[in-house]
Amino acid sequence: MEQRWEAGMYDQAMSFVSKYGEDILDLIAVQPGERIIDWGCGTGDLAAQLSKKGAIATGIDASESMIAQAQHKYPDITFLVADGQRYRPDTPVDAVMSNAALHWMTDAESTAASIAGSLRAGGRFAAEFGAAGNIQEVRRALQESFDRAGVLELLKFPWYFPSIGEYTPLLERHGLSVRMAVRMERPTPLTGGEQGLRIWLETFANGLLMPLNEAKRREVIGETERRLKQTKLYRNGEWVLDYERIRITATKR
């Protein structure tokens, strides 16, 4: 089921996503006047940072609500509703950066081909996204909760979380020479106190919850909270999720 985004809620409760992504700006090493695409730009905060560093930035995202919010916030930047699994600019660009977006693009082959096809020869790519093992405890609890609610057959995880060993050759096959690839454990605090996990699920697991009727949705969310409160992810009324990330840079051959 397709993920639906509420851009206002995303900006309010999930601002940590863009903040963690600021390191990618350093990896992309912006030069003034370069044309750079923010691949899966969300509500545009990192594209705006690219612009402040002198880049001619374009943000793409498959969500109409995200792009509308980005364009409202940053009217001088170009934002496009576009599927990162299929997109090609009219003219190849100097760099592509992506933060917390590639794990939503489950057709990884087409995504890599699109990124490579969007870069000029020598163009740069830098990204961070979910690695194998990302939110493992959350995924386990969701599976157990769907099972307990008698709706396990409706559970379809919407994420692509590869290992470095899986993702590096994927890029190489599409003409990108990988320069750096690291995997990081990054425990991530949620806002919202005790309600933090519920807000996170309503935002990032919206797609997998949509097939459920309202009663089953409440049951699954409540059961997932109950199970995870018994783990290290919940301490003293606060949630810290088990994020694991791949950070990678490459150049177009």
pLDDT of 4 > 80? The answer is no
To the nearest whole number, what is the mean pLDDT of the chain? 93
pLDDT of 19 > 80? The answer is no
Q: Residues 110, 26, 188, CA angle at the centre, nearest 5°?
A: 75
Stretch 175-196: mean pLDDT: 95
Stretch 164-178: mean pLDDT: 98
**Alpha carbons 209 and 41: distance in angstroms, whole number:** 24
pLDDT band (50, 70, 90) for residue 22: confident
The pLDDT value recorded for residue 6 is: 59
User: CB neighbours of 185 closer than 8 A, spacing ≥ 6?
Assistant: 242, 243, 244
Specify the CATH architecture of the domain 7-252.
Answer: 3-Layer(aba) Sandwich (3.40)
Q: Radius of gyration over alpha carbons of the chain, in Å?
A: 18
What pTM value is reported for the model?
0.92
pLDDT of 7 > 70? The answer is no
Stretch 116-129: mean pLDDT: 98
Question: Where exactly are the structural domains of the chain?
Answer: 7-252
Amino acid residing at 131: A
